[in-house]
Amino acid sequence: MPPARLALPVLTVALLAGGCLGGGSGSSSSSGQLTKAQYSQQASAICRSYKKKIAALPTPADLKKLAQSGEKAIALQQQELDELARLRPPEAIGADVRQMLAAVQRGVQQGSRLVLAAQQGNRTEVKAAAGGLQAQLEQANEIARRLDLGDCVISA
């Protein structure tokens, strides 16, 4: 795959870790249940932090480097999801937040599939996994927009 064609899956993997997409599975945080404004503020701060971390990752030019960057992006996304899961959103938005978290977790799975395909040099599977990843991110973005979590929306 020429470098220009590789850019879309690379960008997709990089974007995976750049968005704040999740939160509140009912777990308790030290501050208890948050108001919508508190949740938005804290989730947005987490998202901004991870966007900076992912922006620091190098842009890969081949499948080997895609796998390396992808592994780092997946690890960052999982850390972000873990942080967001510790927040307790208000009950009024809890179901939406759980749906968003689930979409991102599925995106992480697609990202892992993409990394494995890149490690194996399977360009066809890389493209398929990138499409699955993009679909999950779009679903999570839709919910993030509905919740007015602009810092948590991933833009390509």
Q: What is the domain extent for residue 142?
A: 3-152
Residue 150 has pLDDT above 90, yes or no: no
- The yes-or-no verdict on residue 31 having pLDDT over 70 is no
- CA dihedral over 73, 62, 65, 113, signed as positive or negative: positive
Question: pLDDT digit string (tens) for 38-68?
Answer: 999 999 999 899 989 988 999 999 999 999 9
pTM of the model: 0.78
DSSP string covering 68-128: HHHHHHHHHHHHHHHHHHTS---HHHHHHHHHHHHHHHHHHHHHHHHHHHHHHT-HHHHHH
- Candidates 105, 134, 6, 113; CA nearest to 65 is 6
- pLDDT of residue 36 exceeding 60, the answer is yes
pLDDT of residue 28 exceeding 60, the answer is: no
Residue 16 has pLDDT above 60, yes or no: no
19: DSSP letter: S
Q: What percent of the chain has pLDDT over 70?
A: 79
Least confident of 2-6, 57-61, 128-132: 2-6
Give the pLDDT score at 115.
97
The C-alpha atoms of residue 100 and residue 46 are separated, in whole angstroms, by 15
Is pLDDT at 98 greater than 90 in this prediction?
A: yes
Count of helix runs (H) and strand runs (E) in the chain:
5, 0
Question: How many separate domains does the chain show?
Answer: 1
AA letter at 32: G
CA terminus-to-terminus distance, the chain: 21
- Predicted local distance difference test score (pLDDT) of residue 55: 86
- The overall average pLDDT reported for the chain is 83
Residue whose structure tokens are 């919508």 = 36
